[in-house]
Structure 1
Amino acid sequence: MQPLIAPPRLVATRAVASKAAPAPARAEAKAEAPRRDPAPSRAAYRWHRLWLTPLFRTLMRVGLPAFVIVMGLGLYLGNADRRAALTGHFTDLRAALEQRPEFMVSLMSIDGATPALADAIRKVAAVPLPKSSFDIDLLALRDRIATLDAVATADVRVKSGGVLQIRITERVPAVVLRKPDALELLDASGHRVALVLARADRPDLPLLAGDGAAKAVPEALQIIAAAGPLVPRLRGLVRMGDRRWDIVLDRDQRILLPATDPVKALERILALDKAENLLARDILTVDLRLQERPVLRLAPNALREMRRANGIETVESSL
């Protein structure tokens, strides 16, 4: 008895049927699956809206990287050994840079000063050379030099070639001030320039004396300039009560000037002297404090002669 075998056509038909069967199932599955919504999710929508904010974009692009960098530096520098190593590295680097030959100062040049003043400037500056230009405080050096009486202005700078250049404007003495214990040279503004040992050291300069004379040097120079023909006879000016001047001439003559407009009063007495030869007479003082009524004080001999000419007899008594 032979086994039953299906016909070949029947087997092929069943195979084709088995392959074609899943296609309707897949189509049905696709038909049953929900369609994907193209709209963004709520989280994505909020993120996009937030990103459109300028402040948020700035924080994300600048603030966040800066925060990360600062945090990283803080964590790195939080270690004391790391800080010490970093500080030592920068210190060595700076020292190597400052000690380079092109930054070293080896010479000092002083312009505009007399030899005596130049020596005083070198002592006050006290800059040991050679020295790095980074170690020289130019402002402090200029202030120290400006403390010298004879220095009006000072300019300090480092020139190429390692030269420390100091330019000085020296004060020019204009008058000699007599004090109870010393003689001083003053410039035209009344600032002290130097000390002198004797009046004979500067006979070319006028002499001033009295309280407050240093503060009134400009006015005194105006009076001396207006004195004109009296300058050869001028011995000096004395400040009286810190408010006015007396002109002291040879032969112990004095001209008492007023507190206001002394130059104008002096010009009046010079005109009178030119017309009457007044100051060549035996007169002790010419008092111009009251400009409306000048007063003359005669010498004793001239006073006696005047009284005798007027018929006034005087009796001299001796004690």
Structure 2
Amino acid sequence: MSGWRKKSKKSIIKRKRKSPERIIFLVRKFGLVLGVFVLIGWLGSWFFLSDADYHTKTWAHEKTLGFTADLGFTVKDLLVEGRHYTDADAVMAIVNVRKGDPLFSFDTKSAQDMLNKLSWVKSAHVERRLPDTIYIGLTEREPFALWQNNKQIKLIDEDGVFLTDHKLDRFKDYIMVVGDEAPEHSGDFLKILNVETIVRDKVESAQYVGDRRWDLVLKNGITVKLPENDVSLALSRLSLAQTEEALLDKDIKMIDMREVDRIVIRTKPGAVQDYQEYKASYKSNTASGDSI
């Protein structure tokens, strides 16, 4: 044991004698490593602050696009499906590519986002189709009605979304809805009206009254006041009256259907009578050969 202790002491003495040299070595090594990190940090700062990173990325990006173009990945075809109403010039302006452009330089997401902002477009899908085609698939909104507000006429879809106010002649057969809140409520109402085609074909416009119910204005000038509730039932009764008695073709001014149990009509001279009385009179006069 005593020999082991003496050997240990000598070993310790030797290490103590070498320790100043080792410290100097470690200091020099640490200084060298620190200098390397400082140099890397300085180069990194210069790289970012001087926009060298941007120029390097741009250079690499351009070289990559050039390489893919040399391999044949260039724009040769633009395929658009589903476009019927959307303006073709607007689509081309958004795509903004020419034949021969590198296919991978086209930003599909940006183009898709901009297409989705067009009024006619409900949804758009854009993709690159290798090796040389850009594909655009459009789902368009369907025209549903004309909306008149503040003497301006606009085309809307069934959700009340504005589509266009230009070249409306081609949509002249659509029913016109009138009123500030008409677009938001016209979808469900016009779907109900379209079921009763015998009435629908005679309607010129529909006015949303008091933000709660509708008035119909027929092509011959007759106004039909519909109830707030049970609109489907009221239109069904009106359709039956037209089928049986051609009520909507008579020389009358207004038909009031706001009461469930009767139809009130107003003749042009201003007289008011109950539909039941009108019906009995109509049958009586028809039997005797007269017409109303």
TM-score class, shorter-chain normalisation, is 0.5 to 0.7
Counterpart of 2:198, as a letter, is P
- The answer as to 2:42 corresponding to 1:78 is yes
- The answer as to 2:165 corresponding to 1:165 is no
CA contact (8 A) 2:199 2:238 kept: no
1:257 shift after superposition: 0.9
**Counterpart residue number, 1:61:** none
1:82 shift after superposition: 8.2
> Greater Rg, structure 1 or structure 2?
1
Distance 2:222 2:124 in 1: 44
**Counterpart residue number, 1:99:** 66
CA contact (8 A) 1:146 1:153 kept: yes
1:130 shift after superposition: 4.3
- The answer as to 2:270 corresponding to 1:264 is no
**Counterpart residue number, 1:290:** 259
Counterpart of 1:211, as a letter, is D
**Counterpart residue number, 1:145:** 115
Counterpart of 1:209, as a letter, is V
Are residues 124 and 243 of structure 1, via their aligned partners in 2, closer, same or farther at CA, if it must alter by over 3 Å? Answer: farther
Are residues 73 and 115 of structure 1, via their aligned partners in 2, closer, same or farther at CA, if it must alter by over 3 Å? Answer: farther
1:122 shift after superposition: 0.8
Task: Say which of 202, 216, 222 aligns to 1:233.
Answer: 202
CA contact (8 A) 1:107 1:129 kept: yes
Counterpart of 1:97, as a letter, is T
Counterpart of 2:118, as a letter, is L
Deviations 1:249-305 (A, max 9, x none): 23321211122232222223333444555434433212122335543222217669x
Residues 119-268 of structure 1 aligned to structure 2 (within 5 Å): 119-127=89-97, 130-197=100-167, 199=169, 201-268=170-237
Task: Say which of 74, 98, 112 aligns to 2:82.
Answer: 112
Distance 2:85 2:174 in 1: 22
1:186 shift after superposition: 1.9
* Structure 1 alignment gaps of length 5 or more: 1-32, 38-68, 310-319
1:79 shift after superposition: 3.3
Counterpart of 2:201, as a letter, is P
1:110 shift after superposition: 1.8
CA contact (8 A) 1:76 1:82 kept: no
1:128 shift after superposition: 5.5
Are residues 127 and 243 of structure 1, via their aligned partners in 2, closer, same or farther at CA, if it must alter by over 3 Å? Answer: farther
Are residues 186 and 70 of structure 1, via their aligned partners in 2, closer, same or farther at CA, if it must alter by over 3 Å? Answer: farther
Distance 2:179 2:197 in 1: 23
Aligned positions, number: 245
Paired residue secondary structure (1:109): strand
1:162 shift after superposition: 2.8
CA contact (8 A) 2:264 2:272 kept: no
Distance 2:101 2:37 in 1: 36
CA contact (8 A) 2:177 2:207 kept: yes
1:108 shift after superposition: 2.8
Q: TM-score, normalised by structure 1?
A: 0.62
* Structure 2 alignment gaps of length 5 or more: 6-32, 282-292
Counterpart of 2:63, as a letter, is A
Deviations 1:205-256 (A, max 9, x none): 2222222221122123223213221233222212223321111123321211
Distance 1:260 1:297 in 2: 22
Paired residue secondary structure (2:136): strand
CA contact (8 A) 1:153 1:170 kept: yes
In angstroms, what is the RMSD of aligned CA positions?
3.9
Paired residue secondary structure (1:238): strand
Deviations 1:157-204 (A, max 9, x none): 1111232221111222122223444332222222222224455x3343
Paired residue secondary structure (1:78): helix
